Amino acid sequence: MTDVPPTEPPFHRAKWPFYWIARVTGRYFQTMETALEPIGIDVPSYRVLMTLYEDHHVSVSAIADACVIKLSTATRIVQRMTADGLVVTRPSPRDRRVTEVSLTAKGETLRHQVKAIAESVLAQAFEGVSDAEREALNSLLAGVFGRLKG
């Protein structure tokens, strides 16, 4: 006898998109951990460095939002990176209650190294995938993310 009502179709995890999203995310983080280890950086710090790649002064809350982590977690990562000499913080000139983060020269050097590593992992993961397919995947995932953000 089965616990599933006979009117309910069977569940196949391999047909569940979030199963694959979780597996890809997990495998990506494992791959990045291994690739970043030789330069002494972890994945959370890598994610902050890549967020700072796009803007020179980024608030801690914007980092948390971009990395999809709690503000307290972003704060701890930034504090650790400050202690490591990778970033500095300052009050925002527009709102002194907001803390902005920017790279030091050491952080800037490391940012270029992690970007090269990330590009290598990206090339490995998307070997044989066309630019159009990758753009379609990005668009699809951005839409899913936006609908869940609510």
Query: Are 10 and 4 spatial neighbours (Cβ–Cβ below 8 Å)?
Result: yes
Tens-place pLDDT, residues 53-79: 877 899 999 999 999 999 999 999 999
pLDDT score of 106 more than 60 = yes
> Is the distance from CB of 114 to CB of 49 less than 8 angstroms?
yes
pLDDT digits over 132-144, tens only?
999 999 999 999 9
Partners of 90 in beta bridges: 100
* C-alpha radius of gyration, the chain, whole number: 19
Whole-model pTM?
0.83
CB 64 within 8 Å of CB 70: yes
User: For residue 31, what is the enclosing H or E element?
Assistant: helix 17-36
Write down the architecture of domain 41-123 according to CATH: Orthogonal Bundle (1.10)
Stretch 79-91: mean pLDDT:
97
Tell me what pLDDT residue 5 has. 61
Average pLDDT over residues 42-61: 91
Q: Where are the domains of the chain?
A: 41-123
User: Would you state the pLDDT for residue 26?
Assistant: 96
pLDDT at position 38 is 96
Q: What is the mean pLDDT of residues 3-8?
A: 68
Tokens linked to 6: 């006979």
Q: What is the mean pLDDT of the chain?
A: 92
pLDDT at 56: 83
Contact 67, 75 (CB under 8 A): no
